[in-house]
Structure 1
C-alpha cells in the first residue's frame, strides 16, 4: 500500500512539475558521429570502411563504428584494442589543430541557421531555433526522423507542433553539414537543452530523434542512474551515493531539504529539477576564448639556451592559434614547472603587458610574427623566466607554457570571425543597437528574420560577454595540470584517479624521462 501511495505522490508531483514548466523553446542538440575518426576519414578517404582508432600515445581515445563493431571501445589501451581487433588502423590524434579547424567550420554553418549556438567541446553544439518556428497553430508539419515513445497526450501549449517544425529544421542543418563538409551527425530536438542532448543519443549514428514533453519523464527514468544525467559529475554522484541515492527515482523522491544540507540550496534545487527533465538554462552564444596558449612537458632541462629553444618552438605553435583567432593580444603569460632541491615540483606563472606590434593598427588582421616581433616576445618571456627561476643558482625545469590574453572586447574591437563584428556599438544608450550594413559570417536572411525582441536580446548578450582573462579552465574542475581537460573528462574514474596520483607522486621525486599517462594527454 505504501508503494502505491509513493507512486501516486510521484505521479502527482511529476504532473505538477511538468505543468509548471514552459515548453515554448525549440532546442536542437547536434552531436558529430565519432568526430575525430570522421575528420581523419575525410582527410584520408582510403580509411573509410576500415576499423579506425584515434590514438594519443597508448590510448585509443575514440574510434569509428566499424572498430566498435569489432569490440574496440573509446579510451581503451592500444594493446587491448589490437588484441580485440588485429586489423585496427591507428591514426595519431595528438595534434588537435585539424579537429579544431573542422569544429570551427561546423560552428559557422550552424550560425547560418541561428545566432544562438553554444559549443560543447569540439563535437557538440546546442542551437536555439525558437525564433524560426512558425507561430501559426495551423501547421501540419510531420516529424522528420524518429519520435521518442510518442504519447497520445498532446500539450495544449502547441509545443508538439513547434517541435515537429524544429525536427524539419534539424534535418536541414544535418543535410547542409553533410553536403558542405561530409560530416554525419546525430540530433536531438526537445524543449530544453538537457532533453535535447539526452534524446539525441537514443538513435545513432546519423539519425535524429524528437522528444515531446509528455514523454520526457520516460526518457529520464530510462537513464536509471543519476550519473547518467548531464550536469551530475563523478564527485557529486559519490555524494549522492553516500546519501543512499543511487537511482534517478530516489533522487526525485528525496526530500529537498536533505539535498540542500548536502549541496546547498542552488545545487540541490538544480539537480532535483534535472532528475525530472527540467532545464531552464539558455543556449549561450559561444564567445572567443579568453586566452590562447599551450604547454609542453619534457625531461629536465638546466640551461637558458635550452629554455630559449623550447620557448621558440612553443611560440610557433601558439602564435599559429592566435593568427587563426584574429584578435590582437596585449598580455603574455609564462608558466614554468621547476624542481626544488627538496625534490618536489612547483608550477609558477608570471605575466606582463606586451606591445610587439608598434605601428600596426588594431583593424589589421593578425599575421605571422616578423623577426623583430619574435625576438621581442622571446626576450619578454626570458625576462619572466628569470623572475620565476634564479638563473644564478642551479635549477631544473620540466614544463614551459605560453599563453596570450588581454584581447580587445567584442564591442570595442570586434574579433575576426566573431559574432561581435556584425553589430555596431555606436548607438546611444537609449537607442536599440543596429547591425552594420555589411556582414560576412551570418546570412543576411538569418538576421532579417529575427523578431525585434530576439534580435535585441542577441545584441545585449554580446555586450555582456565577459572581458578577457587569463583563466581558461574552471577553478572547480579537478584536472591535472597540463592535461587536456576534454579528454580527461571522458576517462573512466579509475584512470582519472591514476593520473591524479601520478601528478602527486611527481611532486615527491625527481623527474626522469617521462613515461606516465600524463604525457598522453598534453594540450596541443
Structure 2
C-alpha cells in the first residue's frame, strides 16, 4: 500500500502460491483472514485484490528500517531506575508513542503498541485495540486478564507439548495451573521449569528485552509437486535467489533438499554448504546481473553431492540460504533515548496511563 497508494482503501490480500498469507483491514472486515486459501478468500470478498508476495525483499528492507528506528528504545529498562510500576509504565507509554510517531513520519507505517510491566503481559494484550492504536495494561488488571484467558495454550511460552504434559496432571486452564501447588510442579518438572510455569500462569515474567539485530541467515524455499531434472533444479534455484538480498554480502551459501527414507513416512532434510567467494558476495550486494548465475553454479555443485543427477529423482522442496551474514550497516545506536521525547513532554508531568488507546500516532 505504501508503494501503491491506490491499494490503501481497497480489500487487499498478499498471495503466496494458493494462500492469502496476510491481508489489510479492509479485507478483514469482509471476512478474509490470514493463511486463508485464495479460493475461500475470493468467495468471501469478490472485490479482493491479490498481490504476489513471494519476493520478500521489500518486506525485509522495511523490517530493518523499523528495527533501526526502535534501537535506542532498548536501553529504556536500564535508564528507568525508579521501582514504581506506574512510573515505568508512564515512561513506556511515552516511548511507545514517540516510536509510533517516528515510524509513521519516516516510513509511513501504521503501528500498534502494547505496554505492560513485562513481555508476557504485553504479548497477552497484543491482540486488542487494532489497528494503529496503543494500549497500556495496569498492574491491577493483571489478575483479570490472566483469570479469563481460558486454555493454557493462550499463555505465551506454554507450547503444545507442555500443554499435553500439564493435561496429564489434570491442568487444562490457566486457573487450574494457578491453583496447582508449586511443590507438585517442581516434583514433576524440576525447580526451574516448575517455577517458570507457575510464574507464567500468574503473569510473572522476568525475561529481559534484548536487541537481536539483523538475522544472521537469510533464506527462501518453495515446495512443488515434482522436479525431476537438473535443469528444473537450476531454474528453481535461480527463482529463489532473487529474493535473497538485504544489502549485506553473503559469506556462506547453503542448499537444502528433502531426504526420504523407508523409516520416515514424511522426510528429513539434507543440506550442503560452501563459502561464497569475497568478490561474488559483493556482486550480490551491488545487484550485478551475473551474481545469481555464479550462485546457481555453486548450488548445482552442492546438489550433485546429494543427488545423482544421472539417475531418476523426485524433488518436492528446495531451500536456499545465505548464512554467517555480517551485521547490518548502521547498527550503531542512532541518537539517545531522549530523542524519542518531544519538546515539552515529560513523563513526570504526564498522567498515569490507563487501559485506553489512541487511534492516531501522537504529535
TM range (shorter): 0.7 to 0.9
Tell me the residue number matched to 2:192.
266
Tell me the residue number matched to 2:323.
405
Tell me the residue number matched to 1:281.
207
The structural deviation recorded for 1:338 is 5.9
The whole-number CA distance in structure 1 between the counterparts of 2:19 and 2:320 is 26
The structural deviation recorded for 1:261 is 5.2
Distance 1:93 1:238, change over 3 A: farther
Q: C-alpha deviations, 1:157-216, integer Å up to 9, x for none? A: 422123123212221111222222222222111221112222343322222122232332
The whole-number CA distance in structure 2 between the counterparts of 1:191 and 1:341 is 51
- Find out whether 1:94 has 2:59 as its counterpart: no
Distance 1:235 1:376, change over 3 A: same
The whole-number CA distance in structure 2 between the counterparts of 1:390 and 1:80 is 41
The whole-number CA distance in structure 2 between the counterparts of 1:277 and 1:382 is 51
TM-score w.r.t. length of structure 2: 0.79
* Within-5 A mapping of 1:19-418: 41-111=1-71, 113-114=72-73, 116=74, 129-133=76-80, 157-260=83-186, 262-318=188-244, 321=245, 324-329=246-251, 331-337=252-258, 347-357=269-279, 366-369=285-288, 371=290, 377-407=295-325, 415-417=327-329
The whole-number CA distance in structure 1 between the counterparts of 2:79 and 2:66 is 20
Number of equivalent positions: 339
CA RMSD of aligned residues (A): 3.4
Q: Which SS does the other structure have where 1:129 is aligned?
A: helix
The whole-number CA distance in structure 2 between the counterparts of 1:62 and 1:378 is 31
Greater mean alpha carbon deviation, residues 244-253 or residues 306-315 = 306-315
Higher relative contact order (CA 8 A, sep 6+): 2
The whole-number CA distance in structure 1 between the counterparts of 2:257 and 2:102 is 45
Greater mean alpha carbon deviation, residues 178-187 or residues 275-284 = 178-187
The whole-number CA distance in structure 2 between the counterparts of 1:341 and 1:165 is 59
Q: Which SS does the other structure have where 1:99 is aligned?
A: helix
The structural deviation recorded for 1:264 is 4.6
What stretches of structure 2 of length at least 5 have no aligned partner? Answer: 341-363
The whole-number CA distance in structure 2 between the counterparts of 1:192 and 1:333 is 38
Q: C-alpha deviations, 1:349-399, integer Å up to 9, x for none? A: 2223343528x9x9x99433574x666544433332222123444333333
Q: C-alpha deviations, 1:245-278, integer Å up to 9, x for none? A: 1221111111234334554543332122111111
Distance 1:245 1:345, change over 3 A: closer
Q: C-alpha deviations, 1:308-340, integer Å up to 9, x for none? A: 34333434443xx2xx241441x3222233678
Tell me, yes or no, if the aligned pair for 2:219 and 2:320 is still in contact at 8 Å: yes
Tell me, yes or no, if the aligned pair for 1:314 and 1:402 is still in contact at 8 Å: yes
Q: Which SS does the other structure have where 2:269 is aligned?
A: strand
Distance 1:222 1:347, change over 3 A: closer
Distance 1:92 1:72, change over 3 A: same
Distance 1:73 1:444, change over 3 A: closer
Tell me, yes or no, if the aligned pair for 1:327 and 1:407 is still in contact at 8 Å: yes
Distance 1:250 1:132, change over 3 A: same
The whole-number CA distance in structure 2 between the counterparts of 1:61 and 1:407 is 27
Q: C-alpha deviations, 1:387-443, integer Å up to 9, x for none? A: 2123444333333332222345xxxxxx33253xx3xxxxxxxxxxxxxxxxxxx33
Distance 1:82 1:110, change over 3 A: same
Tell me, yes or no, if the aligned pair for 1:339 and 1:396 is still in contact at 8 Å: no
The structural deviation recorded for 1:446 is 4.2
The structural deviation recorded for 1:300 is 3.2
Distance 1:333 1:76, change over 3 A: closer
TM-score w.r.t. length of structure 1: 0.57
Tell me, yes or no, if the aligned pair for 1:59 and 1:75 is still in contact at 8 Å: yes
